[in-house]
Structure formats: structure tokens, C-alpha cells
């Protein structure tokens, strides 16, 4: 006979008695801030080190309010704002716990665009659920709080005396190793399209010093000019013993056929799918043999719901899924899946303190955000698990608005 304690019974009754929170309002708050010693490279696409420069940046916090006073918050919605505006009215009156329905409805509603709004809305809904049940996301996902190995993900190479040549990257990798990192990822130079030799020399220099000591990774960020140059770089990765390479050249990271051909010619495992969206496109890329590791991100791939779908799909094919970028949401997801290797901590640089707005209280994704063993951990608070620093946000606020309300 099953005996349930009074405490457990009371908790179950409390959960059963809770009415689902209904969405009543969708609001955004925009803020502006500056990054010290950060500028842009020749095409203005990449952030790079630039001594004395102050780079102006904007950010937007999305809040989804409910009739129970619970508010789901996500402070990094970026270019998803237009998507959220499109579907904001649809959200009003919806059950905030009906994440699967809202995921599918917003995916359809935003199918003619980038569908970034699907993800940021979903993250807010998971934040509401965690706050309702007073549990961190990793607990709702069936995970556990465990050490997560981090890699140092660099700012792009520059021409300004920061990460200007291979020796600079070797020195920075050594600094990271001494701090506890056991994996290091290169973002090379914006001029890779016209100087592939410097990229190759960088890979070989890092391999000479760190092969067998650190897992080495490289992300050319689609800067390399063509297939031929990408192949040269991939063969250098083979020689240097790199753990993975990603987004090799200027196809934009989307050609299944081209990346299958590269996989046939290069031994170093390829990490693709950062620049495609949601579950179906990721599965298509896997089936086409276009990648070894699968890239996904909660922000761009349908939130926590979408990223977990992709992780489980990759697992079914026997592949690992690597999360794109830092943030507490990714720590929760990584704590809840088996088939993954590293938490991306970045973008980091030996001469830049931070590349992020300090929107969270008591949370650190900067270079010194690891413990002595190179690990990070998911936060333990309810929902996303980290409170926003509303004093800082309000002091840097430049706009706010109600996108929809009941």
C-alpha cells in the first residue's frame, strides 16, 4: 500500500488548486549603455578591442504579466522586438502554462520572418512557470545542478594591439588555462576573406602549444571567402587537433550540401546550424549529413521549449547539441541534457572587462565567471533564477511601452 505523507499530500493539493495564470499584459523596456575599450571592425559587424573607445549599445527587457502577479522577464530580446509586437495581442488572455500551444501558434504567426519572437516569449513563459512552482528551470526540465565545463569564447581578432596576431591568441589561451579553462575558442579576424594565411597560422600556433592540454575550437563566423580557403583552414584544424570548427565560410552557414562536402574532406568535427531556425530545419541538416555537432540557442530557436526539442532530436541521432552564447537560460538547459560538452562563456578578451550589459544581479558571464576548475553552474532561484537589476535598468532606460494588454 502506497503511503503518502501529509506534507506531500498538502503540496499536491496546493499544486492542483492553483489556477493557471492568464496573460494580461506584454511590456518592453529599452535601455542604453556603453562598453569600454570596444569598437567595431572594418565592416561594423564584429565587436573588437579598441583602446579608449566607448561602444554604445541598446538592450530591451520583455515582460509578460499575468493575473496572478507573476511576471516572466527576459532582458536580451534584441532583434526579436518586431516579432513580439506582431504577436503580442495574441498572447492576451492565454494560459501562461500552455507553452506548447503558444510555441506552435507563434511559430505559425511569425513564419514569414526570422521567428525570433517565438524564443523570447517562450523563455518568459518558462520564467513564469518556475516562479509559480518556486523552482529553477533545470528542476522543471528534469535536470540537476551540476558543474558545467565552460570554454573561453574570444572577441574577434583586431588590428588594434589586442588580439592582433597568433602570438596574442596563444598568450590569451595560456591566461585562460591558468584561470582554469580547459577549452578555448577563437573568433578570427574580419579580414579572413582576404588573409586566410593568418587564420591558418593562428590555428597551427595554438595547436603547437595546447594540443593535448586544452580543447581548441574555432569559429570563423562565415568570414572565410570560399570553399577552397575553408578547406585549407579545416586541414590546419586537423593538423592542430582541434575539437571542432564552425561556420567556416561565406555561404552563411546554411548550405547542407557544401558542409557535407567539407565533412568528407576534413577530419575535425564540424559544428553547424547556428543560422537556421527551429526544430525542423535542424533535423533536415542532420539528415543531410551537414554537421557533426548540432548548434542551437534558446533565444533564436524557439526558447527553452525549442532548444529542448532540438537537443532531444540530436540525441536520437546520437549527436551532441551545443548551445550558442552564454546566459542563465542556457545553464539551465545544459543542466538538463546529457548530449552536450561546453558552456560558451563570452565574448572575452584580455583587455576588455565585459561585453555585456550588467542586467542581472549576482550573475557573471565575464572572463572571471568560472570557478578554479573552469566550471559554471545554473542559478538556484525560481524561474530563470537570477533577479534583474531594475535599479541599473531604470537608470539607463530610454524608452518603455505596452505592446498589448487586456
The pLDDT-based confidence of 43 (bands split at 50, 70, 90) is confident
Residue 1, pLDDT above cutoff 50: no
> Is there a single domain that holds both residue 107 and residue 178?
no
> Is there a single domain that holds both residue 227 and residue 339?
yes
> Is there a single domain that holds both residue 364 and residue 283?
yes
What integer is the mean pLDDT of 321-349? Answer: 98
> Is there a single domain that holds both residue 32 and residue 90?
yes
Q: Is residue 76 part of a domain?
A: yes
The pLDDT-based confidence of 4 (bands split at 50, 70, 90) is low
Strand order in the sheet with 71-74: 71-74, 47-66, 23-40, 397-405
Domain extent for 278:
140-376
Q: Is residue 1 part of a domain?
A: no
> Is there a single domain that holds both residue 81 and residue 108?
yes
Average pLDDT score, the chain: 95
> Is there a single domain that holds both residue 269 and residue 300?
yes
Convert the pLDDT of each residue in 272-297 to its tens digit.
999 999 999 999 999 999 999 999 99
> Is there a single domain that holds both residue 182 and residue 83?
no
Q: What is the pTM of this model?
A: 0.95
What's the gap between Cα 221 and its chain centre? 15
| Cell numbers that stand for 267 in this block | 577530419
CATH number of the domain bearing residue 352 = 3.20.20.120
CB atoms within 10 A of CB 404: 18
Q: pLDDT exceeding 70 applies to what percent of the chain?
A: 96
CATH number of the domain bearing residue 38 = 3.30.390.10
> Is there a single domain that holds both residue 343 and residue 401?
no
What integer is the mean pLDDT of 210-223? Answer: 97
- DSSP assignment, residue 382? S
> Is there a single domain that holds both residue 81 and residue 147?
no
> Is there a single domain that holds both residue 172 and residue 232?
yes
> Is there a single domain that holds both residue 98 and residue 182?
no
Domain count, the chain: 2
> Is there a single domain that holds both residue 30 and residue 146?
no
Question: What is the end-to-end Cα distance of the chain in Å, rounded?
Answer: 49
Q: Is residue 298 part of a domain?
A: yes
Q: Are 201 and 166 in contact (CB under 8 A)?
A: yes
Convert the pLDDT of each residue in 240-252 to its tens digit.
999 999 999 999 9
The pLDDT-based confidence of 14 (bands split at 50, 70, 90) is low
The pLDDT-based confidence of 11 (bands split at 50, 70, 90) is low
The pLDDT-based confidence of 169 (bands split at 50, 70, 90) is very high
Alpha helices in 98-240 (DSSP H): 99-109, 116-133, 137-140, 166-179, 196-210, 227-240
Amino acid at each position: 500500500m502506497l503511503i503518502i505523507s501529509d506534507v506531500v499530500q498538502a503540496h499536491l493539493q496546493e499544486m492542483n488548486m492553483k489556477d493557471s495564470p492568464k496573460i494580461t499584459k506584454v511590456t518592453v523596456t529599452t535601455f542604453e549603455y556603453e562598453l569600454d575599450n570596444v569598437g567595431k571592425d572594418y565592416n561594423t559587424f564584429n565587436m573588437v578591442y579598441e583602446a579608449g573607445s566607448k561602444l554604445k549599445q541598446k538592450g530591451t527587457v520583455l515582460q509578460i504579466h499575468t493575473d496572478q502577479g507573476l511576471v516572466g522577464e527576459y532582458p536580451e530580446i534584441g532583434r526579436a522586438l518586431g516579432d513580439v509586437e506582431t504577436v503580442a495581442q495574441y498572447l492576451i488572455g492565454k494560459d501562461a502554462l500552455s507553452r506548447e500551444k503558444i510555441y506552435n501558434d507563434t511559430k505559425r504567426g511569425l513564419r514569414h520572418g526570422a521567428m525570433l519572437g517565438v524564443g523570447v516569449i517562450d523563455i518568459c513563459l518558462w520564467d513564469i512557470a518556475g516562479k509559480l512552482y518556486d523552482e529553477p528551470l533545470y528542476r522543471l526540465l528534469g535536470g540537476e545542478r551540476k558543474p558545467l565545463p565552460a570554454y573561453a569564447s574570444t572577441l574577434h581578432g583586431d588590428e588594434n594591439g589586442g588580439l592582433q596576431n597568433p602570438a596574442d591568441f596563444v598568450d590569451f589561451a595560456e591566461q585562460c588555462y591558468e584561470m582554469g579553462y580547459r577549452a578555448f575558442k577563437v573568433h578570427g579576424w574580419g579580414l579572413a576573406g582576404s588573409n586566410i594565411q593568418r587564420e591558418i597560422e593562428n590555428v597551427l600556433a595554438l595547436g603547437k602549444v595546447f594540443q593535448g592540454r586544452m580543447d581548441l575550437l574555432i569559429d570563423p563566423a562565415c568570414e572565410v571567402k570560399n570553399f577552397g580557403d575553408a578547406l585549407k583552414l579545416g586541414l590546419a584544424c586537423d593538423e592542430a587537433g582541434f575539437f571542432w570548427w564552425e561556420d567556416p565560410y561565406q555561404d552563411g552557414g546554411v548550405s547542407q550540401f557544401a558542409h557535407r562536402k567539407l565533412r568528407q574532406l576534413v577530419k575535425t568535427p564540424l559544428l553547424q546550424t547556428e543560422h537556421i531556425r527551429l526544430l525542423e530545419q535542424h533535423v533536415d541538416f542532420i539528415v543531410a549529413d551537414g554537421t557533426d555537432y548540432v548548434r542551437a540557442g534558446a533565444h533564436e530557436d524557439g526558447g527553452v521549449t525549442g532548444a529542448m526539442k532540438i537537443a532531444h532530436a540530436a540525441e536520437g541521432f546520437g549527436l551532441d547539441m551545443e548551445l550558442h552564447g552564454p546566459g542563465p537560460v542556457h545553464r539551465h538547459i545544459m543542466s538538463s541534457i546529457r548530449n552536450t560538452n561546453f558552456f560558451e562563456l563570452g565574448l572575452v578578451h584580455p583587455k576588455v572587462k565585459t561585453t555585456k550589459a550588467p542586467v542581472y544581479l549576482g550573475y557573471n558571464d565575464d572572463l572571471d565567471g568560472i570557478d578554479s576548475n573552469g566550471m559554471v553552474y545554473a542559478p538556484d532561484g525560481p524561474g530563470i533564477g537570477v533577479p534583474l537589476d531594475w535599479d541599473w535598468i531604470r537608470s539607463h532606460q530610454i524608452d518603455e511601452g505596452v505592446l498589448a494588454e487586456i
